[in-house]
């Protein structure tokens, strides 16, 4: 006799995790085939993970990890006011708007070979405070506690925005 709760026998393995995996390998083959980029340039811009774009790393100096907003403001040469957290968040938002990045970027594992184009503390805080483990969003409210706990992050800048990046380190 069939179980009335599962007449088709489909619910027998509900505790097992799904077996579906999604992998995005980018559009590198399409760009090469259409002649928009040379194969060596695509390989240079493609990370070991098969993603198409330019990796840009942001790192917070080790001595700044876990420091207070007031300490970070003094490190930046700014005198802390009544609410240092709000003051630092305003500086982070301003710097995030200035960076020539798209409004959102994928976060990929940071590797030492990824260039650091902006080595200043405020740029690093602007990225670290507005990213999760998978995405950076320019308009996200800064999460200062998360920023000072991260060591570094790499953003994958889409090819359409690569021309905006400083060329000195690419």
Q: What is the pLDDT of residues 2-55, one digit of tens each?
A: 555 555 555 555 555 555 554 444 555 554 455 554 444 444 444 444 567 899
Residue of 122, 93, 117 whose CA lies nearest to 165? 117
Residues 32 and 61 in one domain: no
Q: Report yes or no on 169 lying in a domain.
A: no
Could you give the number of structural domains in the chain? 2
Residues 113 and 157 in one domain: yes
Residues 59 and 43 in one domain: no
The per-residue pLDDT for range 96-143, each reduced to its tens digit, is 999 999 999 999 999 999 999 999 999 999 999 999 988 999 999 999
Q: Report yes or no on 64 lying in a domain.
A: yes
Check residue 60 and give its pLDDT: 92
Mean of the per-residue pLDDT values of the chain? 79
Q: Report yes or no on 170 lying in a domain.
A: no
Residues 44 and 60 in one domain: no
Residues 70 and 147 in one domain: yes
Residues 59 and 135 in one domain: yes
Residue 71 sits in which domain range?
Answer: 53-164
Residues 26 and 82 in one domain: no
Cα angle: 29, vertex 35, 40; to 5 degrees: 65
């Amino acid at each position: 006799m069939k179980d009335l709760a599962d007449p088709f026998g489909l619910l027998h393995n509900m505790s097992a995790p799904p077996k579906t995996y999604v992998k995005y390998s980018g559009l590198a083959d399409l760009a090469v085939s259409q002649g928009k980029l040379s194969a060596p340039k695509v390989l240079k811009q493609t990370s070991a993970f098969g993603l198409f774009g330019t990796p840009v790393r942001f790192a917070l100096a080790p001595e700044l990890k876990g420091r207070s907003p007031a300490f970070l403001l003094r490190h930046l040469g700014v005198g802390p006011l009544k609410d240092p957290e709000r003051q630092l968040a305003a500086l982070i938002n301003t710097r995030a708007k200035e960076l020539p990045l798209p409004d959102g970027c994928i976060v990929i594992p940071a590797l030492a070979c990824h260039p650091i184009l902006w080595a200043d503390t405020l740029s690093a805080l602007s990225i670290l405070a507005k990213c999760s483990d998978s995405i950076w969003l320019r308009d996200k409210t800064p999460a200062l506690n998360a920023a000072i706990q991260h060591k570094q992050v790499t953003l994958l800048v889409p090819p359409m925005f690569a021309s905006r990046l400083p060329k000195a380190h690419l």
